[in-house]
Structures are given as structure tokens and as C-alpha cells.
Amino acid sequence: MDQHVTCCIAGGGPAGMMLGVLLARAGVDVLVLEKHKDFLRDFRGDTIHPSTLRLMEELGWLDEFLRLPHQEVKQLYGQFGETRIKLADFSSLPISTKFIALMPQWDFLDFLAEKGRAYPKFSLRMNAEATDLVHDGGRVSGVKVTTPEGPLTVSADLVVAADGRTSTLRKASGLVSENFGAPMDVMWFRLPRLPTDTEETQARFDAGQIFIMLQRGDYWQCAYVIPKGDDAKVRAAGLDAFRKSVGALLPFEASRADAIADWDHVKLLTVAVDRLNEWARPGLLCIGDAAHAMSPVGGVGINLAVQDAVAAANSLWQPLKEKRLTFDDLKTVQARRDFPTHATQRLQLTVQNRVIAKTLAKTRDVKPPLAFRLFNSLPFLSRIPARLIGLGFRPEHVSDAIRKGNGA
């Protein structure tokens, strides 16, 4: 089985799907490969930030998108010991979508898939895993794919690795990454939410513990932050001890933690922060987590991946369509996205090292850092993290050519 397309994208996550849809909208022949049979995977990032919502608006899809089930987060709060602080207020953002939308990622990806199917140049193949690169001389010329029907070789003018932080294609390419480390991992689980509960998405910082609650309608999506590598230690202490630790951090009755029925309901997110020194080889481009794994600090990973996709589509649609793509074209994508990636990771590492690591190491009462204490004295300062989290460094816009599009 063999197939040829202009662009083959490995990975049907936010970066891969967004890039595929935008290229097809511009009239580029594109195939997206997704190794799973559907998008229904729990405990994936579910935050759609204002920068991504603005892209939906630019494409004329925002009203339809917001008809999907979601919750709107307009402020973020943190509890440091006994001190409560408003960490970010998105109402000040200079755009129409002044909130974070909490939406299951499978709904976001299904929405993009539906939009992609409107363009004749768009193809999405599920149950198709890219396992290796194909080379022709000194350039990447395609991918080897495993499917239920048998092996498939896809040749392409451009292969895009959007297959996540454990990217198979990145490993096959020999591209070198720099690892910055992380002091924590995260245990994810759900707790039931009652109508009398607060609406607020919030984080609590106590001695040796950090606990985050995301309001998801009839349940709370919870993150219990632990020191790096302590998952086995926490589990060895027993489920009752874990429930007790969680219960002590809840803003309502501790017995709600009894809803954690067994360890199968608690998923581990191993936190990593890294980035490639080079994102491209001739014929190959890495974007999203395949190019840079982000910390969960700020929940911005999905949105940086989407921004990468928009930058790549803006830069590459025309040379791809005109069959004149060069290695220099691919390098322009990294040149465009290097600064926001570096700046975001630098900020995340600062929070990891100066707030998270210190809190997890504390044995006594926790006090908010001075910068956060100023938020209570000078409330307008909460606009700064709102801007950094909501829009980020160098937010992208869909180019006029792609907005008008002739792929449909």
C-alpha cells in the first residue's frame, strides 16, 4: 500500500489537526495520521485559551465552537496558606474572548476534524501510526505507517512530526533536544461537584502540597502535585492516606475525597520540559510537543502547539502548494516560534523552581511570594499573568490568504 500527498502530518492532536485543516483550507493536499481509533482519551489538556479562541473567531467558527459544552474561566485564584490571591483576571484582555474555555480535548479535535472534512484536500486516517521516516538521499521523503489493513508507505513533499513529547519521528530523525527538568509530577483524578460548590478554578499551596481544581460542570478535574518521582511512594502509603491528604485540601467536606474508588482512577502525568535545538531536517518539521515539551504551569501547552501550527501554515502553504518548498522555508517556522517557546519555558521554569519546588519542600506554613502578594495590594497587576497565560508571547493570527482560503 502506497500513497502520495503534498504534506503528511503524524499526530492528530491540536497541533497536527490545526495545521492539517489550515493547509487544506489553503488548497494544500494534506493527510493527518492518528494512531488511535478515536480522540476519546481522558486526562489530556482541556484548556482552550483566549489566543486559540481568537483563532476560532478569525476563521469564522467561534459561535459554533462555543456551542460545544464548556466552562468559562474568567479569573484564576490561588490559596497560599491562609492568604487568597487573584492570580489572573482575563477580563482585561484586549480581545472579545476574555476567558479560558475548559472543554474536553476530544470535542476540540472532533470539531477540527469536522471542519477539515469540508475541504477536498483534507484527509484524516485513524488507527494509523507513523513508525519511521523514509529518506531519499539527504532528505526525508515520507513515513512508514502501521494500519489494521497492513503496512503503508506515505511519500510527501513535507512530513510534519506532531506526535507529542514521546515523538517517534523526532527520535527517528536524530534531532537533539535539551532537557530542563522539573521538580514535580502530577496525579490527575476526578471528584464529584455539587451545585452548591464554588464556580472558581483554583490552586491551593500548603506545606509540602499543591492541589489544583478545575471546574468541569458536574465534576472537578483535580491535580495533586507531588515531588518528581514520588508516585510509587504515594501509592505505597495507601489509598486511604491519599484520600486523607486530598480531603484536607478541599474547600468543602473532606469526605468528598472518598469518591476516589481505587488507584485506577488516579492517572500520573510525568512532567518534562525540553525543546529541540533544531526543529527541522530537509523534508521534515517538528511542531508542538514534538518540538518542545511544556510544563503544565499555566496550562499553555495546547495553545503553544496551536500557535506553532498557525505559524507553520502561514509560512508554508504557498511553497507547498507551488511545489517549491525548501529547507529554509522550514527554518522560518522555528525562527518565528523560538522566542515564544524560550520565553514561555523560562517563565515556567522560574515558577517551578521558585514556587512549586519550594512549596513541595516546605514543612511549615506557606506564604505567597512577594510578587503574588502585590496582586492583592495592586489588583491591576493580575492583568500581567492574564496576558501571558491568555495570549502568550507573540500570539499568531491566521493569514488573510488562509482565512479567505480556496480549499473548500
Report which secondary-structure segment, H or E, holds 142. Answer: strand 139-147
Query: What is the reported pLDDT for 43?
Result: 53
Q: Report how far residue 56's alpha carbon sits from residue 92's, in angstroms, rounded to the nearest whole number.
A: 20
**0.85 exceeded by the pTM?**
yes
Dihedral sign for Cα atoms in the order 163, 105, 154, 142: negative
Of the candidates 405, 293, 393, 401, the residue with the CA atom closest to the CA atom of residue 343? 393
Q: What is the pLDDT of residue 70?
A: 93
pLDDT value for 81: 85
Tell me, what's the pLDDT at 363?
77
Going along the chain from its start, the domains and CATH numbers come out as: 2-72+101-179+273-358+394-404 (3.50.50.60), 184-227+229-269 (3.30.9.10)
Q: Measure Cα distances from 102 to 129, 218, 228, 258 in Å.
A: 28, 13, 27, 25
Q: What is the pLDDT of residue 235?
A: 96
- How confident is the prediction along the chain (408 residues), in pLDDT tens digits per residue? 689 999 999 999 999 999 999 999 999 999 999 999 888 776 556 899 999 999 999 999 999 999 999 999 999 989 898 888 888 999 989 999 999 999 989 999 999 999 999 999 999 999 999 999 999 988 999 999 999 999 999 999 999 999 998 999 999 999 999 999 999 999 999 999 999 998 888 899 998 899 999 988 889 999 999 999 999 999 999 999 999 999 999 999 999 999 999 999 999 999 999 999 999 999 999 999 999 999 989 889 999 999 999 999 999 999 999 999 999 999 999 999 999 999 999 999 999 998 999 999 987 888 888 888 888 778 888 889 999 999 999 999 999 999 998 555
Residues β-bridged to residue 154: 3, 143
Rounded Cα distance, 290 and 284, in Å: 12
Contact between residue 23 and residue 174 where contact means Cβ atoms under 8 Å apart: no
Give CA separation, 269 vs 13, 83, 155, in Å: 17, 28, 34
Q: What is the reported pLDDT for 351?
A: 92
Q: Which pLDDT score is estimated for 407?
A: 56
Which of 105, 157, 108, 160 minimizes the C-alpha distance to 130? 160
What phi, psi does 151 have (nearest 5°)? -70, 150
Instruction: Please tell me the predicted confidence (pLDDT) of residue 373.
Output: 81
pLDDT of the residue at 110: 95
pLDDT at 311: 98
